[in-house]
């Protein structure tokens, strides 16, 4: 009897057997998505192969064949296999990551349009842009795998190099994938690519409908779409003759998926480029340490772009020592205030950044110093002015402002810390005439607000753009001549090995937002730690100095790129059971490690930085060592038998952070 083996997105390593529906040959189903009964559910699976079976149990029938044509080819299967091994998951989970299960076909699919030649337009490139474009296009023409690091300071014209390379690939009758960190924050960039390449571009991100996904997926499969532009998951565009992969702002942590399988789009890009013998272009003004290390070791070819377009100067960065005693409760130093006032007088614009990571306004009791915490999570509730309430930014819990301290009953409660709303109030009081646009996590939920900010600053409807991390990226406004960073160092001392690197990247990125037009720019960095090496390297735009210093630290403390890391998270709604289970798990790993003679370092178990989240207690075990040995242990770790059935345990390879 012929059966079809189907992969299903569950954490089981086996495939599942099904019969072909009536009047359907089993062979015709292979490579397609199918709807099948699974337990008492109906799920989407992936038909892998036809085999003979003499099973003596009842085999269920496939309910529905979803795809009109095969969507799983040889490449997809090898990629799925790679994801299973690299990120410790099942083949079904890997396939569900590559091919979204929830795409549904419209009645009729559009016919592919005839390809047309792209005219590489006449924008004159400078020597650095020429060199970079030439190196990349040679690789496309010669059909060889080669990774590049396009290391260009802000406003050095990386985009033009990307566009040239994409045109090269399309003209060579190949396809291109271009990733950007967050599509909703880069509407401007999407417009540029669409203007250049028209309907050859597909824009793929988590915000599009399943129907749109389906159209894009089939467009890429049948050749109508030649360029897939998008966030992380666009890396899986099903192109058959991929000629170029670009990953812009490669240092961004959004390229790493947090849920299982916790893949890294840069790593998938590397695999694909190798598979298709194509170039992989990683672009950044502040490359991740891992990438830059590979460039120094000549495993990645370095394409430097050390100058801004038209030899414009990088803005001068000035560090201001933030001594709260001097400011009298204000968030702005007098130097910052006078710089802002000058910019406003000259009818120029300013960007004010509040580094929110690890820093939010919260409610504190003046008598017992207790900070008001979320009842579901071990994290401070954040004070909001409009509407007047406190909210937990992790679980969404909110309540009206407390009147008394839950700990001691005192009514002497106060708000501490800066929030964007508070800073906005202060700015408005200082500069009543100024038009201020505030963009933060609360107002930017709708990407329309982001658009509003973008056009508002562009059309000079606003004088000051105030916001958190999200205003640091991408914005290109010629009239912005001042950037003020209110608190540069709040993210420096988070208990995470990447916090200094992230701080450096953030300051460099936001500094790059000014002085892009005809007037020179200036950056003011308010900090409590002006002597900190990270801050000092920023002042000189000295990536190399920062790199050398930070690599020294990582080496000393054994952190990536000197080793790899896996994070095991154990969760239980009972605090004691979470701790017990974590201990048992740790002992199990320790035993495996000794038996298999693996040279790994096990750390923990210990409560996570946020020890309680959504009423669940979280414990972490950290594994450090070589990637090969970590993967060996991780595959064994999957066999761990839980003591408490209600425990949830997950393993993440190369996590984006340890928090």
Using CB under 5 A, list all residues that contact Zn ion: 365, 367-368, 370, 374, 376-377, 392, 394-395, 397, 405, 407-408, 410
Closer Cβ to Zn ion, 11 or 409, answer by number:
409
Task: State in angstroms the smallest separation of the CB of 403 from Zn ion.
Answer: 12
The values of phi and psi at residue 572, to 5°, are -155, 150
Q: Can you name the residues that pair with 624 across neighbouring β-strands?
A: 565, 601
Q: How far apart are CA 73 and CA 31, in angstroms?
A: 7
Task: State in angstroms the smallest separation of the CB of 169 from Zn ion.
Answer: 46
Judge contact between 179 and 246, C-beta under 8 A: yes
Q: Which residues of 250-264 are buried (b: 16+ CB within 10 A; e: fewer)?
A: bbbebbbbeebbbbb
With vertex at residue 86, the alpha carbon angle to CA 81 and CA 87, rounded to the nearest 5 degrees, is 100
Judge contact between 289 and 550, C-beta under 8 A: yes
SS3 139: helix
Cis peptide before 261 (omega within 30 of 0): yes
Task: State in angstroms the smallest separation of the CB of 410 from Zn ion.
Answer: 5
Task: State in angstroms the smallest separation of the CB of 459 from Zn ion.
Answer: 39
Closer Cβ to Zn ion, 359 or 546, answer by number:
359
User: How far, CA to CA in Å, does 370 sit from each of 67, 365, 373, 379, 616?
Assistant: 58, 5, 9, 12, 22
Q: Which residues of 377-411 are buried (b: 16+ CB within 10 A; e: fewer)?
A: bbbbbbbbeeeeebbbbbbebeeeeeeebeeeeee
Task: State in angstroms the smallest separation of the CB of 360 from Zn ion.
Answer: 13
Closer Cβ to Zn ion, 367 or 442, answer by number:
367
Closer Cβ to Zn ion, 277 or 376, answer by number:
376
Closer Cβ to Zn ion, 19 or 371, answer by number:
371
Closer Cβ to Zn ion, 180 or 390, answer by number:
390
Task: State in angstroms the smallest separation of the CB of 404 from Zn ion.
Answer: 8
Task: State in angstroms the smallest separation of the CB of 380 from Zn ion.
Answer: 10
Closer Cβ to Zn ion, 258 or 548, answer by number:
258
Closer Cβ to Zn ion, 363 or 525, answer by number:
363
Closer Cβ to Zn ion, 324 or 410, answer by number:
410
Closer Cβ to Zn ion, 106 or 396, answer by number:
396
Picking from 426, 425, 330, 406, the residue whose alpha carbon sits closest to that of residue 363 is 406
With a CB cutoff of 8 Å and minimum separation 6, the contacts of 371 are 362, 363, 364, 365, 380
Residue 85, both tokens: 């091994």
Q: Which residues of 619-638 are buried (b: 16+ CB within 10 A; e: fewer)?
A: bbbbbbbeeebbbbbbebbe
Closer Cβ to Zn ion, 397 or 584, answer by number:
397
Task: State in angstroms the smallest separation of the CB of 609 from Zn ion.
Answer: 14
Task: State in angstroms the smallest separation of the CB of 494 from Zn ion.
Answer: 19
Closer Cβ to Zn ion, 397 or 636, answer by number:
397
Closer Cβ to Zn ion, 346 or 412, answer by number:
412
SS3 393: coil
With a CB cutoff of 8 Å and minimum separation 6, the contacts of 459 are none
Task: State in angstroms the smallest separation of the CB of 616 from Zn ion.
Answer: 11
HSE value, Cβ hemisphere, 13 Å, CA-based, for 67? 25
Cis peptide before 605 (omega within 30 of 0): yes
Judge contact between 504 and 512, C-beta under 8 A: no
Task: State in angstroms the smallest separation of the CB of 374 from Zn ion.
Answer: 3
Rg (CA), the chain: 27
Q: How many residues does the structure list for the chain?
A: 659
Is the four-CA dihedral 64, 67, 70, 73 of positive or negative sign?
negative
Task: State in angstroms the smallest separation of the CB of 594 from Zn ion.
Answer: 39
With a CB cutoff of 8 Å and minimum separation 6, the contacts of 330 are 426
Closer Cβ to Zn ion, 222 or 378, answer by number:
378
Residue 34, both tokens: 């199918």
Task: State in angstroms the smallest separation of the CB of 106 from Zn ion.
Answer: 40
Q: How far apart are CA 499 and CA 506, in angstroms?
A: 10
Judge contact between 599 and 625, C-beta under 8 A: yes
| Beta strands 201-204; 227-230: pairing state | parallel
Closer Cβ to Zn ion, 146 or 356, answer by number:
356
Closer Cβ to Zn ion, 305 or 382, answer by number:
382
Place of tokens 């003596």: 56
Task: State in angstroms the smallest separation of the CB of 376 from Zn ion.
Answer: 4
SS3 400: strand
Judge contact between 101 and 236, C-beta under 8 A: no
Task: State in angstroms the smallest separation of the CB of 612 from Zn ion.
Answer: 8
Task: State in angstroms the smallest separation of the CB of 413 from Zn ion.
Answer: 8
Residue 81, both tokens: 């296999």
Is the four-CA dihedral 210, 211, 213, 217 of positive or negative sign?
positive
């Amino acid at each position: 009897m012929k059966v079809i083996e189907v992969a299903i997105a569950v954490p089981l390593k086996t495939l599942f057997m099904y019969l072909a529906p009536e009047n359907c040959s089993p062979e015709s189903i292979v490579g397609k998505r199918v709807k099948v009964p699974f337990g008492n559910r109906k799920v989407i699976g992936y038909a892998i192969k036809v085999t003979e079976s003499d099973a003596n149990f009842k085999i269920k029938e496939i309910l529905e064949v979803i795809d009109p044509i095969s969507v799983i080819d040889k490449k997809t299967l090898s990629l799925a296999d790679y994801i299973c091994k690299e990120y410790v998951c099942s083949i079904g989970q890997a396939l569900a990551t590559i091919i979204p299960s929830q795409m549904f076909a419209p009645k009729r699919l559009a016919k592919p349009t005839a390809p047309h030649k792209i005219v590489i337009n006449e924008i004159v490139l400078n020597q650095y842009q020429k060199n970079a474009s030439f190196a990349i296009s040679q690789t496309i023409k010669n059909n060889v795998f080669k990774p590049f690091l396009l290391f260009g300071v802000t406003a050095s014209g990386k985009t033009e190099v990307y566009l040239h390379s994409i045109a090269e690939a399309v003209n060579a009758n190949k396809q291109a994938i271009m990733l950007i960190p967050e599509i909703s924050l880069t509407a401007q960039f999407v417009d540029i690519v669409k203007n250049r390449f028209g309907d050859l571009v597909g824009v793929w991100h988590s915000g599009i409908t399943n129907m749109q996904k389906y159209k894009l997926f089939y467009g890429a499969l049948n050749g109508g779409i030649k360029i897939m532009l998008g966030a992380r998951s666009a890396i899986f565009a099903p192109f058959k003759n991929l000629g170029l992969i670009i990953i812009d702002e490669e240092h961004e942590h959004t390229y790493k998926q947090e849920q299982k399988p916790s893949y890294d789009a840069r790593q998938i890009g590397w695999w694909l480029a190798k598979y298709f013998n194509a170039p992989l272009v990683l672009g950044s003004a502040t490359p991740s340490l891992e990438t830059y290390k590979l460039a120094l070791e000549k495993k990645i070819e370095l394409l430097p772009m050390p100058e801004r377009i038209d030899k414009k100067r990088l803005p001068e960065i000035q560090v201001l020592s933030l001594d709260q005693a001097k400011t009298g409760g204000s968030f702005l130093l007098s130097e910052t205030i006078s710089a802002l006032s000058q910019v406003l007088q000259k009818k120029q614009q300013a960007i004010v950044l509040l580094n929110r990571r690890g820093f939010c306004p919260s409610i504190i009791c003046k008598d017992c110093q207790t900070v008001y915490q979320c009842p579901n999570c071990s994290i401070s509730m954040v004070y909001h002015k409009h509407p007047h309430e406190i909210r937990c930014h992790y679980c969404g819990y909110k309540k009206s402002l407390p009147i008394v301290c839950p700990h001691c009953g005192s009514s002497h409660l106060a708000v501490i810390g800066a929030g964007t709303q508070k800073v906005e109030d202060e700015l408005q009081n200082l500069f009543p005439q100024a038009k201020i646009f505030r963009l933060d996590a609360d107002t930017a939920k709708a990407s329309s607000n982001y658009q509003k900010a973008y056009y508002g600053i562009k059309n000079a409807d606003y004088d000051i753009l105030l916001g958190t991390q999200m205003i640091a990226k991408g914005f290109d406004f010629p009239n912005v001549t001042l950037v003020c960073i209110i608190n540069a160092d709040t993210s420096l001392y988070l208990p995470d090995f990447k916090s200094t690197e992230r701080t450096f990247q953030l300051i460099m990125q936001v500094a790059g937002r000014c002085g892009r037009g005809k007037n020179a720019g200036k950056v003011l960095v308010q900090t409590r730690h002006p002597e900190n090496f990270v801050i000092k390297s920023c002042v000189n735009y000295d990536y190399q100095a920062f790199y050398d210093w930070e690599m020294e630290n990582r080496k000393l403390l054994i952190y990536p790129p000197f080793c790899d890391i896996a994070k095991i998270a154990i969760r239980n709604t009972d605090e004691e059971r979470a701790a017990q289970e974590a201990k048992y798990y740790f002992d199990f790993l320790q035993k495996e490690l000794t038996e298999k003679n693996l040279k790994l370092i096990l750390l923990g178990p210990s409560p996570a930085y946020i020890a309680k989240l959504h009423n669940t207690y979280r414990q972490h075990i950290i594994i450090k060592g070589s990637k090969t040995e970590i993967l060996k242990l991780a595959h064994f770790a999957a066999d761990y038998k839980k003591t408490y059935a209600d425990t949830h345990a997950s393993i993440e390879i190369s996590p984006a952070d340890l928090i």
